[in-house]
Chain A
Amino acid sequence: MPIPDDEQFEKYLRQFKPLRADPLPVPRRQPVLARFWSFIVPAFAVIVLLALFFMLRGRSRPVIAPRAERPAIPEGREELAIAQPLTLQQANELMAHSPSFTAALDNVAFQRQRRQVPQGSLSALTALSKEDKL
């Protein structure tokens, strides 16, 4: 049986075509507009949530009017001290307006923040002091 030369044999082999490969799963890039929205929407949501958080936080904290802006307390009303955190600024103000250090401390303890008792009512402290006098 005659055997063809190398060149002919190579030609014969090349007639066999390798089978095609499966398509490549290419990760496609998102279009620019889609990328823009995919960034903007979560960012906007975060900003809105932060804004809501700070708004609610601001509402729940009582606003303390500065000493000078406090309304004058009408006669016949008493004030009750309530426990509120003292800021450095408020402490400085009290020290500046008080005649002595002891007076400033008294102010801090009893007069710094006051709640007005409705007219015609007495605070428990006043009622007790009246009973003592009797």
Chain B
Amino acid sequence: MPSAAEIDSIERLYRSHSAALVLFAAAITGERSRAQDAVQQVFLRLLEGGGLTRASDLQAYLFASVRNTILNDARARQRDVSIEGESAWFDPPNRDHFAELNLRRALAGLSDDQRQVTVLHVWGELTFAQIAEVLGISANTAASRYRYALTNLRAAMCAWEEPCANS
């Protein structure tokens, strides 16, 4: 059991990263509830074992842990991401819930690899080197996947107009 100070630091870490971690987990599983469970599992393991000190890059370590937790669950491997009936993932600007649904649809339309890279870079605020560490690929591959993902995402969202009409 970690000390009170360690528990506090883990809680702070959870407060600052949990939203992006849950989004990343939801991008893999397609279910926010399962995403939430996976993230909590990771943090509860940290609280039990105090494994924070081993990680050199804490942020990358957390995203990698969440991904591994989900992939270790056999159900996740056989499941396609579907956002139908799924609750919101984002708090949209100007409470534009149509745009939120539009973004989720566009994300769901990406391949798993592209969706994960996009979420890690845009909302996880990870560099391509960190993304490479999380996904076990090279930084160049991560950057390349991101460029393709962004193009596909923009095309999908522009079909529903909003981001394109602003320019």
Total chain A interface residues with beta-carbon distance under 8 A: 24
Q: Is B19 an interface residue (CB 8 A)?
A: yes
Query: How many contacts between A and B, using CB within 8 angstroms?
Result: 87
Q: Is B164 an interface residue (CB 8 A)?
A: yes
Q: Which residues of A contact B55 (CB under 8 A)?
A: none
The interface bits of chain A over 15-46 (1 if a CB of B lies within 8 angstroms of the residue's CB, else 0) are 11111111011110100000000000000000
Q: Which residues of A contact B60 (CB under 8 A)?
A: none
Chain B residues touching A, majority SS: helix
- Which of A3, A21, A24 has the most chain B CB atoms closer than 10 A to its own CB? A21
Chain A residues touching B, majority SS: loop
Stretch of B71-79, B88-96, B108-116, B130-138 lying at the A interface: B88-96
Contact A19 B91 (CB under 8 A): yes
Contact B47 A3 (CB under 8 A): no
Query: Which of chain B's residues has its CB closest to A1's CB?
Result: B164
Tell me whether A12 and B11 are in contact in the complex, defined as CB-CB below 8 angstroms, given that A3-B158, A21-B39 are known contacts. no
Contact B164 A24 (CB under 8 A): no
Q: Is A54 an interface residue (CB 8 A)?
A: no
Contact A29 B166 (CB under 8 A): no
How far does the Cβ of B137 sit from chain A's closest Cβ, in whole Å? 20
Q: Which residues of B line the A interface, CB within 8 A?
A: 1, 4, 7, 11, 14, 18-23, 32, 36, 39-40, 43-44, 47, 88-93, 99-100, 103, 122-123, 147, 150, 153-154, 158, 161, 163-167
Q: Which residues of A line the B interface, CB within 8 A?
A: 1-4, 6, 8-10, 12-22, 24-27, 29
